Chain A
Amino acid sequence: MSEWAKYLILASSFSVLAISFGIGLWAKKKVTSPEAFFGGAKIFGPLTVGLATMAAVGSAFAVVGVPGLVYSTGNTILLFMFAAPGFVFGYLVIGKKVRAMAEIGTVASLGDLSDLRFNGHRGIKLILSLMLFIGCAMYLSAQVEACAKLFENLFEWNKLVISVVIFAILIAYTVLSGEIGGILTQAFQGFVIVLAGLIFAIAFFVVTGGFGPVLEAISGPQGAAAGLDPSAMTAWGSLPGAYSFAWVMLPTLGIMCQPQVLTRVMMLRDPRELPKLSIYAVSTNMITGMMVMAIGYCAIYLVANGLVEIDHPDKAVFKVADYLGLVAQLFVYPAVLAAALSTSSLFLSLAGNIVSRDLPGSLGVTFSAARQVTVSRIAMSVMGVAAIGFASVSGDMVAILGTYGFGTLAAATFPIFIVGLLWKGATGRGVMTGMLAALLATVGGVTIELLNRFGLADFAWPGGVPWYVFVMAAAVVVTIAASLLTTADTLDRRVEMAMEL
């Protein structure tokens, strides 16, 4: 690739950052209160929320990690991407209840929502904050890893320097306008991803001639010579079946309670627009799904035919874009950055919310509005450092890091927001016990994974099922059992009405 082409791609990527920054500046005037800054404004329509949700859920995990895994292990990870009906199911089951809760009091964070449902239970809020913080670090580390791969591919810049620069710019525009700017920039970034998706889907057919030639290429002698496994093209891919199970279960159940979904529902103007939001979210999600499948399949086709060499799965998206030429590169690199930024800004806001509002609240401390914003900014910086640190020590692929974060966040939120809002019998003590189980299991799971990674242990999870599945199950089962064994709480009448809507 010529030097001028590299700088043109860099300029197109940074234009996403510049426009996002501009949107953040413009959105600043809409921040009329601390609640609005932290996400308590119910002012957005279904298209904005739908695009923002897709972008925040999609993330660099989807755009970089998934094509890499498709290239290296086949269709297994596509089960995760294709579980879009779970989006709609989540809105159908829990959407109106969450949105209704936002009418009862000032709800700007998940901690506020938890307070309403469980009568300000501090223990639940404390553990929720800690779990969300851990999940945020994991999810953010996937974005760090993706950005590093992007710039490594272009310039071979130092990973640490790249991560620090990107996070500095990101924090700057996130602290400027909070969640209001966050949702608008995410909607813009969602649009960039969709545009790149459409271009890539068309490019796939032009380059390969369709799905048949990809199957032929991987099944033929050239595929075997390139070390590719034809079983990758079956329904379950070439990974053990336990991954198929985990990667269907995780998005289907987990999407209902992901912070990216819950916080956006609370910002929707009218809950009766949730079905429209669903259509926008799943149709854009389908385009993203098509894009990542096309990139992964394109990588298989190009490698099997000896046209491209890929030394690390996370580089598949960039190698394919480089093969397709400048037009594809000018869209794909910005799309990767947009995907990483959209999720990162959401999780940075979430981290800021946790440290400046939820965590102090759970300990009986309340900051003034101005102090909350300052503390939030410091928290975002700390979270950025934590994410960069986790990315460098874990050494995992982007997609694997993404699933860790997804699983941890689901374990943190499922007992409170799914069990809690669907069942009046979920007690404060029951949920607290379930959350404690989730926290301990998460710490245990991550520790075991890190020990395995550094060769200090050789623990295999039963059936080869990823650890976060057990964490989620422990959190839910303990919550239900402990709730059955404890006396029901008295609910605020308005909370009951929201739950019965």
Chain B
Amino acid sequence: MNKGKTETLLMSISGLLWLAMVGLAGAGHWLAGLYALLGLLLVYGVLGTSHKGRFDLRLVAFPSLVWLVMWAAAFWLGNHFAELYAGREPAFTIFGFHPSFAAIVVLFWIVPTLLMGFGFEAVKDRWLSQERWDEFLRRVHGTDEGEDREGRE
């Protein structure tokens, strides 16, 4: 399958995931809707790495996929402890937080935020190298028909 078709397939999947996500939430299954959101983010993550006919799956794996896995864990743990201690005081706390919210603080907020922020800096050259940007500028500011043809080839 060529790249254009793969992009179209991925975008079509994203459309279905939007429907699934909102449909699940609208039907009362909001937690399942959150997991569908993670799938949707993954699709956008893959599409965002597209460069000259290729997707950079290593760039998807880190940091985006690690982040999404953490969020999945946060949702599961958050919901598990919220249901376990529904209507009563929790048997223990973490840093003084209700255990279900502690999962959110650690795995939804602090660790993934730092991971994404510093992880992005760590993969900066893979994401956009100086050479690739310079090449883009050279071609954009000097684009003429000849270079256009060359680019298409």
A501 touches B86 (CB 8 A): no
- Residue from A93, A235, A289, A463 within 8 A of B25 (CB atoms): A463
Closest to A423 in B: B11
- Residue from A234, A248, A279, A462 within 8 A of B117 (CB atoms): A279
The distance from the CB of B146 to the nearest CB of chain A, in whole angstroms, is 12
**Which size bracket describes the interface of A in this complex?**
35 or more
One of A96-104, A124-132, A159-167 contacting the partner = A96-104
One of A179-187, A311-319, A337-345, A465-473 contacting the partner = A465-473
Contact residues, B58-117 vs A (CB, 8 A): 63-64, 67, 71, 78-79, 81-82, 85-87, 89, 93, 95-98, 100-101, 103-105, 108-110, 112-113, 115-117
A103 touches B11 (CB 8 A): no
B15 touches A481 (CB 8 A): yes
Which residues in A have their C-beta under 8 angstroms from that of B148? 493
A423 to B4, alpha carbons, bound, how many Å? 8
Q: Tell me, yes or no, whether A12 is within 8 Å of chain B by CB.
A: no
A419 touches B81 (CB 8 A): no
Given contacts A235-B103, A244-B30, contact A92 B15 (CB under 8 A): no
A234 to B115, alpha carbons, bound, how many Å? 24
A75 touches B127 (CB 8 A): no
- Residue from B34, B96, B113 within 8 A of A212 (CB atoms): B96
Given contacts A92-B48, A501-B128, contact A425 B116 (CB under 8 A): no
A418 touches B25 (CB 8 A): no
A419 to B124, alpha carbons, bound, how many Å? 23
Q: Tell me what chain A mostly uses at the interface: helix, strand, loop, or mixed.
A: helix
Q: Tell me, yes or no, whether A121 is within 8 Å of chain B by CB.
A: no
Given contacts A215-B93, A271-B128, contact A473 B117 (CB under 8 A): no
The distance from the CB of A397 to the nearest CB of chain B, in whole angstroms, is 21
A213 touches B96 (CB 8 A): yes
Q: Tell me, yes or no, whether B57 is within 8 Å of chain A by CB.
A: no
A382 to B70, alpha carbons, bound, how many Å? 45
Q: Tell me, yes or no, whether A305 is within 8 Å of chain B by CB.
A: no
B130 touches A272 (CB 8 A): yes
Closest to B82 in A: A234
A138 to B26, alpha carbons, bound, how many Å? 24
Which residues in B have their C-beta under 8 angstroms from that of A244? 30, 34
The distance from the CB of B28 to the nearest CB of chain A, in whole angstroms, is 5
The distance from the CB of A239 to the nearest CB of chain B, in whole angstroms, is 11
Q: Tell me, yes or no, whether A422 is within 8 Å of chain B by CB.
A: yes
Given contacts A89-B41, A493-B143, A494-B143, contact A211 B95 (CB under 8 A): yes
A235 touches B143 (CB 8 A): no
B79 touches A231 (CB 8 A): no
The number of A-B residue pairs with CB atoms under 8 Å apart is 228
- Residue from B33, B82, B89, B139 within 8 A of A235 (CB atoms): B82
The distance from the CB of B93 to the nearest CB of chain A, in whole angstroms, is 6
Which residues in A have their C-beta under 8 angstroms from that of B124? 272, 275
Q: Tell me what chain B mostly uses at the interface: helix, strand, loop, or mixed.
A: helix
A469 touches B11 (CB 8 A): no
Closest to A476 in B: B18
A104 touches B140 (CB 8 A): yes
Tell me the count of chain B residues lying within 8 A, CB to CB, of chain A: 78
A469 to B30, alpha carbons, bound, how many Å? 12
Given contacts A493-B148, A500-B52, contact A211 B96 (CB under 8 A): yes
Which residues in B have their C-beta under 8 angstroms from that of A75? 101, 104
A469 to B28, alpha carbons, bound, how many Å? 14
Q: Tell me, yes or no, whether A417 is within 8 Å of chain B by CB.
A: no
B97 touches A211 (CB 8 A): yes
B30 touches A463 (CB 8 A): yes
- Residue from B64, B118, B139 within 8 A of A92 (CB atoms): B64
The distance from the CB of B72 to the nearest CB of chain A, in whole angstroms, is 12
A279 touches B47 (CB 8 A): no
B110 touches A85 (CB 8 A): no
Which residues in A have their C-beta under 8 angstroms from that of B118? 279
Per-residue 0/1 for A31-65: is the Cβ within 8 Å of any B Cβ (1 yes, 0 no)? 00000000000000000000000000000000000
Which residues in B have their C-beta under 8 angstroms from that of A473? 18-19, 21-22
Tell me the B residues contacting A by CB distance below 8 Å. Answer: 4, 7-8, 11-12, 14-15, 18-19, 21-22, 25-28, 30-31, 33-34, 37, 40-41, 44-45, 47-48, 50-52, 63-64, 67, 71, 78-79, 81-82, 85-87, 89, 93, 95-98, 100-101, 103-105, 108-110, 112-113, 115-121, 124, 127-128, 130, 132-133, 136-137, 139-141, 143, 148, 151-152
Could you jot down 24 A-B contacts, CB within 8 Å? A78-B104, A82-B105, A82-B113, A85-B71, A87-B116, A88-B113, A92-B64, A92-B120, A212-B93, A233-B101, A234-B85, A236-B82, A245-B30, A275-B121, A282-B116, A422-B44, A424-B4, A461-B26, A463-B26, A463-B28, A463-B30, A473-B18, A497-B140, A501-B132
User: Ordered nearest first, which 5 A-B pairs have the shortest CB separation?
Assistant: A93-B48, A235-B78, A211-B96, A212-B96, A462-B26
- Additional A-B contacts beyond A212-B93, A245-B25, A279-B117 (16; CB < 8 A): A82-B108, A84-B116, A85-B67, A88-B116, A103-B137, A212-B96, A215-B96, A215-B97, A231-B86, A236-B82, A245-B34, A248-B37, A422-B50, A463-B25, A498-B136, A501-B133
